[in-house]
């Protein structure tokens, strides 16, 4: 039997080609490995049209390590971070700043509401102490898309720095650094790039990085030092995630061959549309209104079954070859289905059939369809 398909927002399903790229050992001093690092960084910058304005600083660890590194490096010790929060990853960003002892404020929006640029503008006008704004591009806890271009324009007009957690959006949703100003954009190998977990990276505006020497409270998570060392030696500071980088190189080759960001977005949008239509046919409703829904992950209201239990649904769908994702909302019972990874429409159609069969076994009867 084949391995189950991951309908999760990373780790996610990768291609055999990407997995096979890990069947080789690399020396961290080897010239070819260092060239591979440089080529990956160049390609990541190009995805955001950021070659002229930013540098790419790769970092060992999961995505959160890169978020923590970006905040610790770019926020001066006496700076203040304002986090625009409408979900768990916004809360995590604020918690990161708090744990490292930096001043942090939160502008909270409801879980199903996008961050409001007008609200941000008036908040910044009233709070001159805010030096940086932190925003989650796609809030993966629901799948909500924040209006990044508008929020970036407001932040730049107010003369503050912008730190973007684009973890679950980068390479699928467009970002153009020539028209969208940001100090830092954070993402990782194992989401829309369809690599494997183990490294993140930060696209840092050149001047912002030059000004950041000595800000970091952490040795290992200092992006200034990580970049300075790499610029000087071509090597990673400390042991690189060699196999993860090789897999990312391969995943980037596939990304470019597929047609880059527009093609990736089109495939994910097709997955999301197929999923939303299929869920509606099953009588299940999605949590977000369509105009706020990113084609990354769909939050679904749990079916109204007397003895509903996500673990049972998960096991029943897993037995049919697909991995669902639990909900992350406290007030409503939901589960999530990812649209990203090396999957396409027919995988989503099969997943919908698996979900339908599992629900039928659990006694689910779709409500009568309206005409």
Ligand X SMILES: *Cc1c(COP(=O)(O)O)cnc(C)c1O
Residues that bind ligand X (CB under 6 A): 9-10, 62-64, 67, 89, 136, 140, 165, 167-168, 188
Q: Tokens 């409001």 appear where?
A: 116
C-beta closer to ligand X: residue 168 or 183: 168
Position of minimal CB gap to ligand X: 63
Q: How far is the CB of 63 from ligand X (least distance, A)?
A: 3
Q: How far is the CB of 178 from ligand X (least distance, A)?
A: 24
Rounded to whole angstroms, the Cα distance separating 239 from 204 reads 22
Q: How far is the CB of 185 from ligand X (least distance, A)?
A: 12
C-beta closer to ligand X: residue 243 or 312: 243
C-beta closer to ligand X: residue 139 or 205: 139
Q: How far is the CB of 173 from ligand X (least distance, A)?
A: 12
Q: How far is the CB of 98 from ligand X (least distance, A)?
A: 16
Q: How far is the CB of 345 from ligand X (least distance, A)?
A: 23
C-beta closer to ligand X: residue 9 or 195: 9
C-beta closer to ligand X: residue 36 or 189: 189
Q: How far is the CB of 138 from ligand X (least distance, A)?
A: 6
SS3 237: coil
The continuous run of DSSP H or E covering 263 comes out as: helix 260-281
Residues in the chain: 371
β-pair type (132-136, 161-165)? parallel
Cβ neighbours for 219, distance < 8 A, ≥ 6 positions apart: 225
C-beta closer to ligand X: residue 59 or 352: 59
Structural contact between residues 87 and 141, judged by C-beta atoms closer than 8 angstroms: yes
Rounded to whole angstroms, the Cα distance separating 132 from 125 reads 13
Closest CA to 146 of 199, 81, 87, 222: 87
What 8-state DSSP symbol labels residue 286?
A: B
C-beta closer to ligand X: residue 63 or 278: 63
φ/ψ (deg, to 5) at 113: -120, 135
Question: Which token pair is 115?
Answer: 């961050």
C-beta closer to ligand X: residue 62 or 250: 62
Closest CA to 185 of 174, 194, 196, 195: 174
Which parts of 302-346 are beta strand (E)? 322-323, 325-326, 334-338
The C-alpha angle 297, 301, 303, rounded to 5 degrees, equals 130
Rounded to whole angstroms, the Cα distance separating 269 from 263 reads 10
Q: How far is the CB of 192 from ligand X (least distance, A)?
A: 10
Please, is 92 exposed, middle or buried when counting C-beta atoms within 10 Å of its C-beta (0-12, 13-18, 19+)? middle
């Amino acid at each position: 039997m084949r391995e189950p398909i991951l309908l999760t927002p990373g780790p996610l399903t990768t291609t055999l080609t990407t997995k096979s790229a890990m069947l080789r050992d690399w020396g961290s001093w080897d010239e070819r490995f260092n060239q591979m690092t440089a080529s990956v960084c160049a390609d990541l910058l190009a995805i955001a049209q950021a070659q002229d304005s930013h540098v790419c600083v790769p970092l060992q660890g999961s995505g959160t390590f890169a978020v923590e590194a970006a905040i610790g490096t770019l926020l001066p010790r006496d700076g203040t971070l304002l986090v625009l929060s409408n979900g768990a990853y916004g809360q995590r960003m604020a918690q990161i700043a708090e744990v490292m002892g930096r001043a942090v404020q939160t502008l909270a929006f409801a879980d199903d509401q996008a961050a409001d640029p007008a609200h941000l503008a008036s908040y910044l006008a009233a709070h001159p102490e805010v030096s940086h704004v932190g925003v989650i591009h796609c809030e993966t806890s629901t799948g909500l898309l924040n209006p990044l271009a508008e929020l970036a324009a407001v932040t730049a007009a107010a003369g503050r720095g912008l730190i973007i957690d684009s973890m679950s959006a980068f390479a699928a949703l467009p970002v153009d650094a020539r028209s969208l100003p940001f100090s830092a954009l954070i993402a990782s190998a194992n989401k829309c790039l369809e690599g494997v977990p183990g490294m993140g990276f930060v696209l840092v505006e050149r001047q912002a990085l030059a000004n950041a020497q000595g800000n970091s409270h952490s040795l290992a998570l200092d992006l200034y030092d990580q970049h300075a060392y790499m610029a000087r030696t071509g090597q990673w500071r400390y042991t690189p995630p060699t196999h993860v980088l090789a897999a990312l190189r391969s995943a980037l080759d596939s990304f470019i061959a597929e047609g880059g960001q527009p093609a990736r977005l089109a495939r994910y949008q097709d997955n999301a549309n197929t999923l939303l239509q299929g869920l509606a046919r099953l009588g299940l409703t999605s949590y977000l209104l369509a105009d706020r829904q990113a084609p990354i992950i769909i939050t679904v209201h749990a079916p109204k079954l007397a003895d509903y239990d996500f673990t049972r649904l998960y096991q029943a769908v897993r037995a049919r070859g697909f991995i669902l994702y639990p909900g992350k909302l406290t007030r409503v019972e939901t589960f999530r289905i990812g649209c990203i990874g090396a999957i396409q429409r027919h995988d989503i159609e099969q997943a919908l059939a698996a979900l339908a069969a599992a629900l039928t076994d659990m006694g689910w009867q779709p409500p009568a369809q309206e005409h």
